[in-house]
A and B are shown apart, each in its own frame.
Chain A
Amino acid sequence: MKESRVQKQKLITQKIAFGIFAAISFSVLFLSVLVVGFILVHGIMKLSPEFLFSKPEEGMMKGGILPAIVGTLLLVIGSSLVAFPIGILSGIYMNEYASKNYIHSTIQMMTNNLAGIPSIVYGLFGLALFVNSFGFGMSLISGCLTLGILVLPLVIRTTEEALKSIDDSFRWTSYSLGATKFETVFGVILPMAFPSILTSLLLSIGRIAGETAPIIFTVAAYYLPEISFSLSAQVMALPYHLYVMSTSGIDLNASREIAFGTALVLMILVLLLNLGLRLVKKFFQKRNS
């Protein structure tokens, strides 16, 4: 009798505790809804074709944000070109070529540490190396190289993970049919890992699009209404534009409105990438099964 009462009490305590756990978890989930919803509600009014596809006017207080959108797209494309080839090859090396000894673990440690370096430090590095030492100045190429280096560890690690998930039996089968190592990696393993690698690339693009600190000193322009595709020119970028509009403005209310619009565009861009990532995953999962 007594024991069962104790047991009952314990179960009640557990129920209460689990209830609290669930409540806290839901509040964290609610946080993400709050951030997204808050910006959506305030920014949606600003979103119009005119805002998206025209140039800023009157010291950015009127007009649209086209140069910032184009700038961010250019940065994304440029830094992908820098990071993806090297990152994917490096991931292939780590999983397929490197023997699992101290060299492998050292490189792995370095990659992990590289991923943990604060983004502003990449900005300082980009400023010291590309802008000053190489003499590129503040330009699209400096920005792309800096951002490319920033996402490199992410690309390396996710490629490695993707390759790791391919079962070794495929490798042995390929070898047993007389294929060389190179043919096995590029003809069998890479095509199989392609969907996961693709999702990792989308993830990296989302990261590039939202970074602000590394581009402040390497490429971002405060106000540059003319769209230029030159590698040696500065560009405007969405995240930096958002920072500028939300912290320095003469007319706070008007600039806030634009800031909300910019924040929404930036967030939609990142969310679309997230969504695309999930669709790609689903598509390939369906095809494989």
Chain B
Amino acid sequence: MKKRFYTLWENLIRASGFCSTLLVLSISFYLFREAYGLFRNSGVESGYSIFVHQSNPIQEFEPDTLRKIFNKDVRRWSEIGGIDERIEIFSLSDLEKKFKEEALGPDLQFVPEKVWEYSENKPAIIGYFPSKLLDSRHKTVAVRQIEFSDLVFGDSWFPASSPIASFGAASILLGSLWVSFGAILFAMPMGLVVAIYLAEIANPRMREISLHFIELLAGIPSVVFGFFGLVLVVPLLKDIFNLDQGESALAGSIILGIISLPTIISITQDAFLTIPKDIKASSLSLGATELQTIFFVLIPYAKSAIFAAMILGIGRAFGETMAVLMVTGNAAIIPESFFQPVRTITATIASELGEAPNGGIHYEALFVLGTILFVFTFLLNLIANFFVGKKS
């Protein structure tokens, strides 16, 4: 009886050993599953169709072209290789203007007929209607499905626009990269210096006190950092650099730098502490000063761990949500300077997912962004794990 109880427990322990592996697998599965649908979609609202006149030679629309037509950036068919006539857009709201309510029938049953009547003799027409209000006489044109490259290289992010939504996330991906590299640019040297100071220079008492402060910094929730940035850093930047708006990539980088400091410091410091004492001793005995020893012996010795710390710091900054959401201004434009507002992957997901209907195309697009984030940080972690375990 007792033995059976032990075996039961031990099996339970064995099973739970695999929970993290199982979780990583199921997280990847669910992210991909929810994201996948975007690439079987064209961006046209589901249930709607695009039609043109019979004589129009076009076979398939590029999503981008269609967006330009409806935004009136393209005004003539000749601009996209058609007849030299002005494009006439025809949609449900036009129908209500052009025909009386009675003419459309109480259940809209006469709509297909009326749409046909109106568009029959207009070679320059392009129509956007619910598919069920069109019939076989209309020449409906398919729109090319969204591809991964549209998402990565496209620069217009209008996930909820009608008739065609566009999911060009280049500005968002770049925003994340800018902010996290900006953060690491000042957090890495600072973190390295602090780690060297703590491991090599400070006396034990000082070291212990300092570590308490760094633990404190590591324990502060990111939303508190975001709030701190919003009320102190943002107005400060606005005044110092005379900006219209203090919410900028720079503000994000500063806050993210502070957030990733404890990660960088603790990993780098551990690396310095595990360097065998005789290496330092031999350098000193050869007449090198402590400073020379640090720069020419200890740092080269710990370089792979320092590199790992940098990678993990970038990963930490890249995946941070609340702080950037609150201080970067969230404008989806391709960043050109650190003084401009930017929008990151994480901030986009956090601010838009609430408005995106479950399972819809916008929801799927945000899951694609989440998947990109997941894969990117996963790779960074793999690289860092490889380097942190590597001995010079």
Chain A residues at the B interface, C-beta cutoff of 8 Å? 10-11, 13-14, 17-18, 20-22, 24-25, 28-29, 31-33, 35-36, 38-39, 42, 86, 89-90, 92-94, 97-98, 106-107, 109-114, 116-125, 127-129, 132-133, 149, 152-153, 156, 180-182, 186, 206, 209-213, 216-217, 239-240, 242-243, 246-247, 256, 259, 263, 266-267, 270-271, 273-274
The answer to whether residues A109 and B322 also contact, given A24-B193, A35-B220, A90-B17 and a CB cut-off of 8 A, is no
With A25-B193, A116-B312, A120-B349: A182-B9 Cβ-Cβ less than 8 Å:
yes
* B214 at the A interface (CB under 8 A): yes
Contact: A120 with B370, CB < 8 Å?
yes
Are A116 and B377 neighbours in the complex by a CB distance under 8 Å? yes
Q: B71 near A: Cβ within 8 Å?
A: no
Q: How many residues of B contact A (CB 8 A)?
A: 82
Q: Does B326 contact A (CB under 8 A)?
A: yes
**B31 touching A121 by the CB < 8 A rule?**
yes
B217 part of interface (Cβ distance < 8 Å): yes
A35 touches B6 (CB 8 A): no
B225 near A28 (CB under 8 angstroms)? no
Q: A24-B197, A217-B353 are in contact. Are A118 and B210 (CB under 8 A)?
A: no
Main DSSP-derived SS at the A contact region: helix
| Stretch of B86-94, B109-117, B137-145, B228-236 at the chain-chain interface | B228-236
Q: CB distance B350 to A216 under 8 Å?
A: yes
Q: Which residues of A contact B282 (CB under 8 A)?
A: none
Report if A212-B322 is in contact (Cβ < 8 Å); known contacts: A125-B31, A246-B230: yes
Evaluate contact between A119 and B194: CB separation under 8 angstroms.
Answer: no
- Having A117-B319, A124-B370, one finds 7 other A-B pairs with CB under 8 Å, namely A18-B197, A89-B13, A121-B374, A124-B353, A133-B30, A240-B223, A263-B228
What 0/1 pattern do residues 214 to 258 of B give for CB contact below 8 A with A? 111101111111111011100000000000000000000000001
Q: Do B224 and A24 touch across chains, with their CB atoms under 8 A apart?
A: no
For B228, give the chain A residue with the smallest CB separation.
A35
Interface string of B186-218 (1 = CB under 8 A from A): 000010011011100110000000100111110
Q: How far is the CB of A189 from chain B (nearest CB, A)?
A: 13
Report how far A112 CA is from B201 CA in the complex, Å.
31
Q: Is the CB–CB distance between A210 and B197 below 8 Å?
A: no
- Asked if B297 lies at the interface with its beta carbon under 8 angstroms from chain A, I say no
Interface pair A110/B21, CB less than 8 Å apart? yes
Are A152 and B23 in touch, CB under 8 angstroms?
A: yes
| Contact bitstring B355-392, A, C-beta under 8 A = 1, else 0 | 00011000000110010011001101110110000000
Bound form: Cα–Cα A270–B225 in Å: 13
> Are A89 and B380 closer than 8 Å at their CB atoms?
no
Residue of A nearest to B261 (CB): A28
Assess whether A28 is in contact with B21, with CB atoms less than 8 Å apart: no
Say yes or no: B19 contacts A86, CB within 8 Å: yes
